[in-house]
Amino acid sequence: MFSYNNVWVDESRRKSGLDSKDFELKNIYNPDKRKFGIEKIGYISDREFTPAEIAQNEKIWNPETQKWE
């Protein structure tokens, strides 16, 4: 069987859609909040926020109340 979107193969020999085996989702550590491969393959975007701006948007642990604030 060939990929469902392979235009060079007869439609009868193509898969009907995506299988869960066709892709894999992974979580990555991205502290700079950059975009990876969104604009083009292998591209890493410039920073949109400074480290200080990113830190201002994160929660902090308050040991007195034992809560994230």
| pLDDT above 90: residue 65 | yes
Q: Are 44 and 36 in contact (CB under 8 A)?
A: yes
pLDDT interval class at 18 (50, 70, 90): low
pLDDT interval class at 39 (50, 70, 90): low
pLDDT interval class at 43 (50, 70, 90): confident
Mean pLDDT of 29-54: 78
